[in-house]
Amino acid sequence: TEPGRLRNFCIIAHIDHGKSTLADRMLQLTGIVDQRAMREQYLDRMDIERERGITIKSQAVRMPWVVEGEMFALNMIDTPGHVDFSYEVSRSLAACEGAILLVDAAQGIEAQTLANLYLALANDLEIIPVLNKIDLPAAEPERYAQELAQLIGCDPGDVLRVSGKTGAGVAELLDRVVERVPGPTGDADAPARALIFDSVYDAYRGVVTYVRMIDGHLAPKDRIVMLSTRAQHELLEIGVSSPEPTASKGLGVGEVGYLITGVKDVRQSKVGDTVTLAKNGAVDALPGYVEPKPMVFSGLYPVDGSDYPDLREALDRLKLSDAALVYEPETSVALGFGFRCGFLGLLHLEIVRERLEREFGIELIATAPSVVYEVQLETGEALQVTNPSEFPTGKIATVEEPVVNAAILAPKDYVGTIMELCQSRRGALQGMEYLGEDRVEIRYVMPLAEIVFDFFDQLKSKTAGYASLDYEPSGLQEAELVKVDILLQGDRVDAFSAIVHKDKAYAYGVMMTGRLRDLIPRQQYEVPIQAAIGARVIARETIRAMRKDVLAKCYGGDITRKRKLLEKQKEGKKRMKMVGRVEVPQDAFIQALSGD
């Protein structure tokens, strides 16, 4: 298709504002998916995505649409809606000329609406403002059309109103896309350059790479090069999804489609990278490529130690489809053999963990998530700490932690509550703005570690679910952080070491020692549980010695009962871990790590 007849667009929205449902209606209305084949949220492929109603992986579909007798090809590029994947979102936006800004007509603008809008504007996209769910009785299209119009500086009458559920207004929306979104421009005679905006592992076909052609042309059998790695491959297949993959003779300027080269690992096909031809190819990469960088680390351990080899294999397999996942073996006194894994954020962590448990059937214990600390020793040596138990003791010059720019949107009645929460999480207020009469945007710089720890749940519960949050990394900040260790009878339990702000160290120590006191059963002798910063003990609890002999219960008589009891004890011991001389049921560790 010639560029003039192409329209490349995406839908950007806050979570749950109905992006996937609207996309489904478009597939139906353009006739590429018929009623019967339609299953809900066609574009979300992974089970987890469908169950949780979130979009993790972006994908593109090509839809025919006729306006005034002229046939257009609309490429809709789906974008993930969560902050963990904002780099993927930015690359998807870079593949488009226009964006539908979709807002729930019963909710109004939310934090991700703004974050996505800013990303779209940064990519020079034509913005089409749309209110969704107008079928809802609670919809207030007048009010939110005003709000949207004010935000992007258009007339409230220009804000389209649709329902992804009933299909109302969707045809008009597609007409508007053709009318407003410019066709792509590029140089057909220049060396081929294609932007990778997604790559997906497929068990049968290997990696499927989604690209947007910028210049030139790519065809089957071409030898291609990935500019970031200089790796060469032969193009086995090139085509478009409509929505099932359909091979074609090639892709030209502005077209969106997929490539298959037979590579088996998504790391060979990196989001943001530039594809060109091996012979007479382009020299300059497209701007904006960044290597994925893990922000949050956690130790993953099999509950059953004999699952360790399976866990290794499962991670090796997952890695093929997840370019951002990193891991290395780690051992813990308390938890045995496991892996220290790095993730883009908390959602990414949860997804990986759930896939390991569900797709590979491995029951896991995860240590508390940790961010990456930059530590300068007095000797001048610098280190990166991703595991709190490896935090150096003494001789530290400075510690820096990652911080984020957080934006919270909420009704104005909650401003006080929100500020209190952010302040208690070491936030620094940056500014506050009214977006309409009732809704306020509050901006904070906050340590990522404070957000990782339960912040979103707290925010939701303190605002009856009304507040929404978005954040982006904004570098490092020096902070007075210390490591708190937990000791059982003088032996350190590595899985419970934590890096906390010095003002919060005491509270952490008291909480953790108390929790373990309640979870660890009595031993033959008294066991002190201590929290310490270096050699300084800051909190202490004691597990008192067991008084009665377990066998005393058996009146000395019945030998078989006695044996049974002993056997039962043996059984239980298999699940015991030794920390120094202290025997701890593994369950106690699991509960202490997951406790609120």
Closest approach of ligand GTP to the CB of residue 11, in Å: 8
**Tokens, residue 346:** 């908390």
Closest approach of ligand GTP to the CB of residue 29, in Å: 14
- Residue 173 vs 300, nearer CB to ligand GTP: 173
Closest approach of ligand GTP to the CB of residue 134, in Å: 7
Other beta carbons within 10 Å of 331: 11
- Asked whether the beta carbons of 187 and 273 are under 8 A apart, the reply is no
- Beta bridge mates, 276: 225
- Classify 364 as helix, strand or coil: strand
- Residue 1 vs 30, nearer CB to ligand GTP: 30
- Asked whether the beta carbons of 91 and 195 are under 8 A apart, the reply is yes
Q: Strand 373-377 and strand 382-385: pairing? A: antiparallel
DSSP 159-205: SEE--TTT-TTHHHHHHHHHHHSPPP---TTSPPEEEEEEEEEETTT
- Residue 58 vs 269, nearer CB to ligand GTP: 58
Closest approach of ligand GTP to the CB of residue 133, in Å: 4
- Residue 52 vs 517, nearer CB to ligand GTP: 52
- Asked whether the beta carbons of 371 and 345 are under 8 A apart, the reply is no
Q: How far is CA 359 from the centre of its chain?
A: 19
- Asked whether the beta carbons of 396 and 437 are under 8 A apart, the reply is no
Closest approach of ligand GTP to the CB of residue 45, in Å: 12
- Residue 43 vs 505, nearer CB to ligand GTP: 43
Closest approach of ligand GTP to the CB of residue 470, in Å: 13
**Tokens, residue 454:** 């339960």
Q: What is the identity of the amino acid at 252?
A: G
Residues that bind ligand GTP in the complex, under the rule CB under 6 A: 13, 15-21, 53-55, 81, 132-133, 135-136, 163-165
- Residue 164 vs 302, nearer CB to ligand GTP: 164
Closest approach of ligand GTP to the CB of residue 246, in Å: 25
Segment holding 315, helix H or strand E = helix 308-321
Closest approach of ligand GTP to the CB of residue 169, in Å: 9
Q: What is the identity of the amino acid at 241?
A: S
- Residue 360 vs 456, nearer CB to ligand GTP: 456
d(CA 464, CA 412) in angstroms, rounded, equals 13
- Residue 132 vs 241, nearer CB to ligand GTP: 132
d(CA 396, CA 477) in angstroms, rounded, equals 16
CA dihedral 562, 564, 570, 572 (to 10 degrees): -120
Segment holding 373, helix H or strand E = strand 373-377
- Residue 165 vs 443, nearer CB to ligand GTP: 165
Closest approach of ligand GTP to the CB of residue 76, in Å: 13
